[in-house]
Chains A and B, each alone.
Chain A
Amino acid sequence: MTLLSILGVISSAIYSGTSLLYITLGEIVDQRSGIVNLGLEGLLLISGATGVAVTSITGNPFWGVLAAVAAGGLTNLILGFLVVTRRGNQLASGLALMFFGFGASALIGKSHVGQKINGLARFTIPGLGSLSPRYLSLLQFDLLIYLSIPCALLIWWLLFRTRWGLGVRAVGENADTAFASGRNPRLIKYQALFVGGMLAGLGAAHLTLAYTLNWTEFMMGGRGFIAVALVIFSKWHPVRAIAGALLFSGAVAFQLLLQASGVSISPFLLDTIPYILTILVLIAWGGTRKYSAPASLGRVYMGTE
């Protein structure tokens, strides 16, 4: 187990963890406003497909990222329409959105399946140039990776230090109280969904445009659901999500490490670790979990009109 292989594992974890982090941040914002987005998987597919399509057409991944972010925000607005304006059931609406994502992404991506596209540029932080090329190649990250932790901090600041964030959290706890304070819960939920959708779209963009560099149907591999687990695991807190994302995506990297040292545990079993961990954590919190989750999570806001 050389330093190189360890670095390799860490590097790989950081790569796959970054997209997971963005996606989780997005879902945290959604859930803080009281909405569970089970359709995240579909949203990610749509964003990913859009990102690849635009990058393929324009040749520049930057436009792809923008397009993916926009697609994510807009797709979440569909959920907003169903859940906020039409007061639909959140679980059913989310699942419907997931199916929509399956189909829409297939349509958007169909002419780009398997194509190679230009990925986001990778570079290292200045100052590390003196290391040998082998190490250097492992420490090359793209812009989105460098921005991921600052982004998490930004979301924390947004939720806990601004008036808007206070409103979002209030709506997620008790929309009637938020309404009594003169806010418009519906508008706030839409805003939260839009921001959350953009973040998730950013995560999808990172996956397709910086990591895999192509598009195939159903390529998100359940990340939408892993993110839901991760949101719970991080107790709806953006900064804890950083650790959680590394931990969860580390499982994949961990597999490689184990294989390298000769231990073989089925990768399938290792893949179940994030979920089992989350369930164990939920049991450990026991009844006090309800103090961590936004109090009106999942509830439909009936309003007083």
Chain B
Amino acid sequence: MPTEVERRRRPLFGGLDLSGALGRYASMLVLALGLFGLIIWINGKNPILSYRELFGSTLGSWYGFSEVLVAMTPMLITALAVALPSRIGLINVGVEGQLYMGACSATWGALTFSDAPAFILLPLLTLLGMLGGALWALVPGLLRAMGLVNETITTLLLNSVAPKLVAFFVFGFWHSPMDTNKTPNFVPAARLPTFFGTRIDFGLVIGLALLTIFWLVMKYTRWGLEMRAIGGNPEAALRNGVPLKAYIVGVLCAGGAIAGLAGMAQVSGYYGVLLTGFSRGVGFVGFLISWLSFGDPLGIVLTSFLVAVITTGGSMLQLTTALPYAIINILLAVALFVVLSGINLFPKRKSA
């Protein structure tokens, strides 16, 4: 996770240094599109047409745009689940696992209380989701607070455990009569409401609200100050009386809870059912988005949007170019490579 050093050195949308950031983002787009176009061309397809498809299908129509927002929703929330702990220097790579566990506990609630009305069931599912994710982050948080194991490793390892646990539950207990890979569809009361007949669900609102709260807390409250102190220098913060261990456990669990919420939104909003292996790496995408935006809330929104455009457009691309869907990962990866390597085609004239 970028340290405070890197955050200050490469300020983003926090209101400073806009031209440097724009230059970098522009480079990222140009280089990424160029390299990807090259790959498409090598495979015998027309890059220009492909790009037209990609952007046309996503930004050119209301339906496409709504699909982008749908894809963006889990990314926003998972990115926040990484960004919050990163403010105190914790690296939460375990979002993928926390996501699964949140989905798992929410599913349990949906299946067990399927008779309850929506206004009770939905908040309950939300709480269950957050609880599931938070619990999954509890052990790593405790281990880190006790100074035993670094949370990067524990969350990473638990990532691999969670999907198997979910599969265990689905296979063993919850699967629908026809298909052992997924649960029965959720009852309507367990589904997050959608907007305007599109697939955009309430999760988007939750995500944006959470990001706003995050920004307010970090900027104005005592906890934001103490978290920034920890992020800036944990040893000093400790000696200055900031309850470091409490923050470590609390903030990592909060990150887990947020990831769990994302998981709940996935099964309750997007899918309506728990499918084993439903996450196609959205936890990792969230990690990368948070990292790319240096944990800045506005940056997270913009980056998620961009990434969502790429992935949504990718499914369109698959239909028109007969290239496998997985190839969209290349575009994503190349864009990441460009940003990670810090290549800037449009550097500012003045030196920083």
Contacts and interface: CB of A to CB of B under 8 A. Distances in A.
B154 A226 contact: no
Interface of B: 1-2, 39, 43, 91, 93, 143, 147-149, 152-154, 156-161, 164-165, 167-168, 171-172, 281, 284, 287-288, 291-292, 323-334, 336-337, 340-343
Interface in A204-252: 217, 222, 225-226, 228-229, 232
Given A85-B341, A89-B291, 20 more contacts: A78-B337, A86-B343, A89-B2, A91-B93, A93-B340, A96-B333, A96-B336, A99-B336, A100-B337, A102-B326, A103-B332, A222-B160, A225-B159, A225-B160, A228-B156, A266-B172, A272-B165, A279-B149, A283-B149, A287-B148
B172 A100 contact: no
A-B pairs with lowest CB-CB distance, top 6:
A103-B329, A106-B326, A100-B333, A103-B330, A96-B336, A88-B340
A82 interface: yes
Chain A interface size, as a band, is: 35 or more
B163 to A, nearest CB: 9
Contacts, number: 135
B6 to A, nearest CB: 8
A95 B1 CA distance: 12
A95 B287 contact: yes
Given A99-B329, A103-B329, A217-B324, A92 B340 contact: yes
Nearest to B342: A86
A272 B342 CA distance: 38
Contact of A232 (B153, B291, B340): B153
Contact of B333 (A99, A229, A268, A286): A99
A38 B340 CA distance: 15
B279 to A, nearest CB: 13
Interface string A151-193: 0000000000000000000000000000000000000000000
A269 B287 contact: no
Interface string A72-116: 000000100110011111011101111110111111001000000
A298 B93 CA distance: 14
A269 B164 contact: yes
B321 to A, nearest CB: 12
Contacts of A92: 287-288, 291-292, 336, 340
A298 B1 CA distance: 11
A245 B17 CA distance: 50
A198 to B, nearest CB: 21
B152 A91 contact: yes
A298 B153 CA distance: 12
Interface in A263-305: 266, 268-269, 271-272, 275-276, 278-279, 282-283, 286-287, 289, 298
A282 B149 contact: yes
Nearest to B291: A92
Contacts of B342: 86-88
A86 B158 contact: no
Contact of B327 (A107, A269, A271, A286): A107
